Chains A and B, each alone.
Chain A
Amino acid sequence: MIGFILKRILWAIPVLWIVATITFAMMHLVPGGPFDREKKLPPEIKANIEAKFHLDKPLPVQYALYLKGLLRGDLGPSYKYLGRTVNDVIADTLPVSMQLGFLALLVGLVVGLSAGVASAVWARTALDKTSMFLATAGISIPNFVLGALLIQLFSHQFKLLPPALWEDARHAILPAAALGLAPAAYIARLMRASILEVMDKDYVRTARAKGLGFWAVLWRHVLINAISPVVTILGPLTAALVTGSFVIEFIFSVPGMGQFFITAVTNRDYPLIMGVTLVYAALIVSANLFVDVLYLFIDPRVQME
């Protein structure tokens, strides 16, 4: 077990290195640099700035310098937020995105699993049809539309919840719902299909034939086997949710990391682009590792290599 985890962690190193290299190459291929401005800088001033950030050196040297810093855990200075390092920026914003992301994940799991189970148990009833209609709608409606609807409803109409900002727990409800309902819809559909499939299996029929009650079979034999697909998507889903959503953070003014996936690129803030990409990659790798470990518990057929 420990060996398995260690091996997976070691594998993460080349993965992150490849991600770093590809990102580095791609962002330098895009035309336009961090200090291109509407008001063009006099050449001597631009030269001073480029010297400060080593942008005057050839790309391979810049790449080597970056990797050297990375080995020390130093993600470099931000070009946009002067005097702050990328480590600072991520330390300030990632925890916020994680709070929001885990809340959204919770919404997704609680709403999604219960709707999925209910739909499967009462398949082809009005409840199932309503729930699956809502799930289809939930997947199709973009989260910014949902966010705007929630603000209109709960802030303007009922004046129950704040429309934006990040002061206390009440401020987290609307963004978490806006972010979590689409995964909820997805999980509900996945769970329903999976349960219906498992219910047709021989071992379920055998269990029923032995005289076990419906709910006991559902709980002990169906759910534990049907949950595997949901666990599979949990890894990438968690990584996506906890690194923040640009749109949701934007419309609810949540001080998270999601914004940088867009603004770091439009600003050509190279170290910040690298930083958020690597954090995202590292989270995907760890979330997938976590899911694989979870499999070992859920499905005894899964073997450790």
Chain B
Amino acid sequence: MKKTILVALLLLGFLVFAIGKEKAKAPPAEATFRMHLASEPPTLDWSLATDNVSIRVIENLMAGLAEYDKDLRPKPAIAEHWDVSPDGRRYLFYLREDVYWTDGVPLKAQDFEYAWKRLLNPETAAEYAYFLFDIVNAAEYNAGEMRDPAQVGVKALDDHLLQVDLKKQAVYFPAITTFTATFPQREDLIKAYGERWTAVEHFVTLGPFRLEEWRHEYRLTLRANEHYYEGRPPLDRLIFYVVSEETTALTLYETGDLDRVTLPPIAIPQYRGRSDYRHAPFLRGYYYGFNVAKPPFDDVRLRQAFSLAVDRTELPRILKGGEIPATSWVPEGMFAHNPKIGLGFDPDRARRLLTEAGYPEGTGLPEITLSFNTDPTNRLIAENIQAQWKRNLGVSVQLDNMEWKVYLRQLKEDTPQIFRLGWGADYPDPDNFLNLFTGASGNNNTHWGNARYDQLIADAASEADAARRIVLYDEAQQILTEQDVPIIPLFFAAQNLLISPAVKGLEINAMDLLYLKKVRKAPL
């Protein structure tokens, strides 16, 4: 009997322990913007952050030399202006003198020099070090071939003047300086606290908001930076909740606990008519690639036939997210986008090419497999394309799906005949999309290479004249999607959001960058 009571008491103890821990905080009357993050930010160290969750937080805590305007053109931020030498290889960035870190220390050009060299230092092991590989000796220093950081082409000439030397002209370089990985850092703090420098108690930033609380796996709270160089932002507070499940986030939006939510695809038709619904293009392309090194897709006619046999307009109908069908590769919303390029839907021509390639009505073709990483959307698309190829070419294709990391390994070691991949913009310049399929690109899984294409991409990167750049990119895209066809572009993604009517001034851009410094909201 006594023991039963003992057990009961123990259980009661658990209950008290369980409930006693958490205390609700009554929200004070503050202008608070609340949104969800798809996961815990892996890091707030902007030398190491590579994922969009971390970057979403960092872009509101920090600032860089330049930032994007609403059309995604780089405009001055910490740099008041910059000069480019006539050969396009030397940049001088003139820094504002009224920028202070949240601990009151003034920002210096040396903080940029330190941050960039830290990004490139092999010991930092930063994934995004390659963003600065256009700089003299940057790649060599990162690869450990050159040990002296003083040889790297970035130098603070005085406290407010930063000099950058490039290996070759790169017209997109100012866009690179908008990127979080290039933001300045404090050598004294990183030396003092090591990897813990991003912990709330040590963290020093200089952007519109500062970090107030970071409850891992649950919530980050940011507070307005009173000393932000553009003036204190209108919002008092930002709260980012970690909510991995999209439908849970939607429920929290509906109950008024969130002010902005990404719509899960399944819910889009239901919300499309509402006034708080927002739709915008997104610089992310989705494509099928061929392994051109192995038969049968070493035959360009067969690749062209497969591309011509796909009616891309069916995809937004099944995906329902307002995706934009694509035949070319530079996405809508980006410079040099040209929807006229590429192989549109033409089943007759597709069948003729199939016959020319020696496979009339698909007879004689070996078994063909379309591979993708396990995901409901990928499956939906693959099943649709499989049916289209059956209908328009008479060809039966097998589907094969794999877990993501297994799939990535497979792409590298034994590239499937047809595979699915996507690409999201790192910076809104066609170079970032078209460089992908150059012979030297580590992300070109097609085994395709074309010297003319590579030359066009290299020329365009150092072409300052916009009209001439477009000509170069048009030709490159024709080679990629009409002539050689190592890939079938399928569609460009879109953003589907709900934004609370109480929120004013929230601009949506095609990079899905979220600058909250201009946003207003009535206090809670």
Stretch of A5-13, A36-44, A63-71 on the interface side: A36-44
Residue contact B245 to A250, C-beta cutoff 8 Å: yes
B159 to chain A, nearest CB (A): 29
Question: B residues within 8 A CB of A169?
Answer: 19, 22
B339 to chain A, nearest CB (A): 25
Task: Tell yes or no: B421 within 8 A of A by CB.
Answer: yes
Residue contact B405 to A36, C-beta cutoff 8 Å: yes
Task: Tell yes or no: A252 within 8 A of B by CB.
Answer: yes
Task: Tell yes or no: A142 within 8 A of B by CB.
Answer: no
Residue contact B216 to A255, C-beta cutoff 8 Å: yes
Residue contact A253 to B216, C-beta cutoff 8 Å: no
**Chain B, range 1-42, C-beta contacts under 8 Å to A:** 1, 3-4, 6-7, 11, 14-15, 17-19, 21-25, 39-40, 42
Residue contact B442 to A165, C-beta cutoff 8 Å: no
Task: Tell yes or no: A45 within 8 A of B by CB.
Answer: yes
Residue contact B421 to A38, C-beta cutoff 8 Å: yes
Task: Tell yes or no: B143 within 8 A of A by CB.
Answer: yes
Residue contact B252 to A163, C-beta cutoff 8 Å: yes
Task: Tell yes or no: A297 within 8 A of B by CB.
Answer: yes
B387 to chain A, nearest CB (A): 26
Also in contact, A168 and B443, with CB within 8 A (given A36-B409, A102-B18, A255-B216) = no
Q: Point out the residue from A81, A163, A298 that lies within 8 Å of B43, measured CB to CB.
A: A81
Question: A residues within 8 A CB of B198?
Answer: 83
Question: A residues within 8 A CB of B412?
Answer: 36, 40
B300 to chain A, nearest CB (A): 25
Cα A93 to Cα B442 in complex, Å, equals 37
B430 to chain A, nearest CB (A): 17
A interface secondary structure, majority = helix
Residue contact B125 to A49, C-beta cutoff 8 Å: yes
**Chain A, range 189-231, C-beta contacts under 8 Å to B:** 220, 223-224
**Chain B, range 413-454, C-beta contacts under 8 Å to A:** 421-423, 426, 442-443
Question: A residues within 8 A CB of B404?
Answer: 32, 266
Residue contact A89 to B216, C-beta cutoff 8 Å: yes
Residue contact B142 to A155, C-beta cutoff 8 Å: no
Residue contact A255 to B403, C-beta cutoff 8 Å: no
Stretch of B94-102, B126-134, B506-514 on the interface side: B126-134
Task: Tell yes or no: B270 within 8 A of A by CB.
Answer: no
Residue contact B408 to A42, C-beta cutoff 8 Å: no
B421 to chain A, nearest CB (A): 7
Question: A residues within 8 A CB of B4?
Answer: 223-224
Residue contact B142 to A48, C-beta cutoff 8 Å: yes
Question: A residues within 8 A CB of B24?
Answer: 167-168
Also in contact, A40 and B443, with CB within 8 A (given A45-B129, A92-B216, A99-B17) = yes
Q: Point out the residue from B21, B45, B242, B254 that lies within 8 Å of A255, measured CB to CB.
A: B242
Q: Point out the residue from A52, A80, A105, A163 that lies within 8 Å of B255, measured CB to CB.
A: A163
Residue contact B422 to A251, C-beta cutoff 8 Å: no
Residue contact B122 to A82, C-beta cutoff 8 Å: no
Also in contact, A99 and B248, with CB within 8 A (given A31-B405, A36-B408, A51-B125) = no
A residues adjacent to B (C-beta < 8 A): 30-33, 35-45, 48-49, 51-52, 80-84, 88-89, 92-93, 95-96, 99-100, 102-103, 105-106, 109, 151, 155-156, 162-169, 171-172, 220, 223-224, 250-253, 255-256, 259, 263, 266, 268, 294, 297-298
- Ordered nearest first, which 9 A-B pairs have the shortest CB separation? A32-B405, A255-B218, A168-B24, A44-B143, A255-B217, A102-B14, A82-B43, A83-B195, A52-B125
B residues adjacent to A (C-beta < 8 A): 1, 3-4, 6-7, 11, 14-15, 17-19, 21-25, 39-40, 42-43, 45, 48, 50, 122-127, 129-130, 133, 139, 142-144, 195-196, 198, 215-218, 241-245, 247-248, 251-252, 254-255, 257, 403-410, 412, 421-423, 426, 442-443
Given contacts A44-B142, A99-B21, A253-B241, 20 further A-B contacts (CB under 8 A): A33-B409, A37-B408, A38-B421, A44-B122, A44-B143, A44-B144, A82-B42, A82-B45, A82-B195, A88-B216, A89-B216, A96-B217, A102-B17, A106-B18, A155-B255, A171-B22, A220-B1, A251-B247, A266-B405, A268-B405
